[in-house]
Structure formats: C-alpha cells, structure tokens
Structure 1
C-alpha cells in the first residue's frame, strides 16, 4: 500500500492499465485520422498536378501553422510541439505531391 496516496499497488496497476488503454485508443484514432487526412491531401496533389500548380503552398502552410498553434494553446498543448507535428505532416504531403506531379503515385 502506498500510504502517501492511500492506494494499493494493485489499484495503481489497474488504474495504469485503464489509462494505457485510453492512450492506445487515442493512438488508434490518431492513425485513422491521419489516414483520412492523407486521402484528402492526395486528392489535392492530383488537382495541383493537373493544374500545373507547385507542390508546396507556403501561404497555406503559414495559415495552418498559426491556426494549429492557436488550437494547441486552447487545448493546453505545447504550440511548438503542434507546429513541429504539423511541419512533419506537411513535409510528407509535399513529398507525396511531388511524386504525384512526376507520375510516381
């Protein structure tokens, strides 16, 4: 028993398992949401390629960074982390758009 918190080790283990299950569920949802997002960005890539537009859109990217930083702050998430996460996703999207433009996808 952890007298400082008034819990037994079994209670802590059970609580830990419950929390980890919630994390696992959220991770699965994140993956499904990313897959859905990439379906849409792939459509954008094909439209851009057909119209001869560049893969990258710095203005759109800046707008998205600002929007997601604000959402992160509202959600009590580190805005710098949210920006890094978005930048990683955007880099992958641009890579896909470049591959689409040359007929690799």
Structure 2
C-alpha cells in the first residue's frame, strides 16, 4: 500500500473546500441540536424521577424508531443507520435518567 500523501490546503480544489466547509457547518449544527435535545431529555428525566417513573420507556422508544425510520426513508437516509443513531442517543438518555433518578432517591432517603 502506498503511503498517504498529506495534502496541502492550497492543493484542494475550491469545490472540495466548499463541500467540506458545508459539512463543518452541518456538524456544528448537529452538535447544537444534540445539546438542545439533551437539555430537553434532562427535563424529562427530572419529571420521571419526581413521579417515580422508570428511566426507560420501551413503547415510546419503539414509536420513536418507527417515526425516525420513516423520516429517514423520506429524506433518502438509510433507515438502519437512523435507527442505530437513535439507539445510541436513547442509550445515553436512559443512562442520564438513571443518574437523575438515583440523585432523587439519595435526597429522599
């Protein structure tokens, strides 16, 4: 295998640089959107803990999977990828909800 050549930025065609800049902007937007989503799920976690509801809601999760797969198909995105992405997020959200619940339980002992 030939060694990879490091590309000088001046060697990159303008079209490629523009496409990469667009990707960078989208990545930044994704991070901000994910941060906002997690702020909302923190609120949900506190409500669940206050009402002694379980951190996970399998019925809601399945509905979200169906909805996201449908949106992915409509958008030309692989629905399997969309489901994996959602599962990754949901796993992290549940972990956060478990931590919140433990905090409430510790304060109420």
Q: TM-score, normalised by structure 2?
A: 0.84
Q: Which runs of 5+ in 2 are unaligned?
A: 1-9, 105-109
Q: Which runs of 5+ in 1 are unaligned?
A: 1-9
Partner of 1:25: 25
Secondary structure, in 3 states, of the residue corresponding to 1:77? coil
- 1:24 to partner: Cα distance: 0.2
* Runs of 4+ residues deviating >3 angstroms: none
Deviations 1:78-104 (A, max 9, x none): 000000000000000000000000118
RMSD: 1.6
Partner of 1:84: 84
Count of aligned residue pairs for this structure pair: 95
Measured in 2, the distance between the counterparts of 1:100 and 1:23 equals 34
Partner of 1:74: 74
Q: TM-score, normalised by structure 1?
A: 0.87
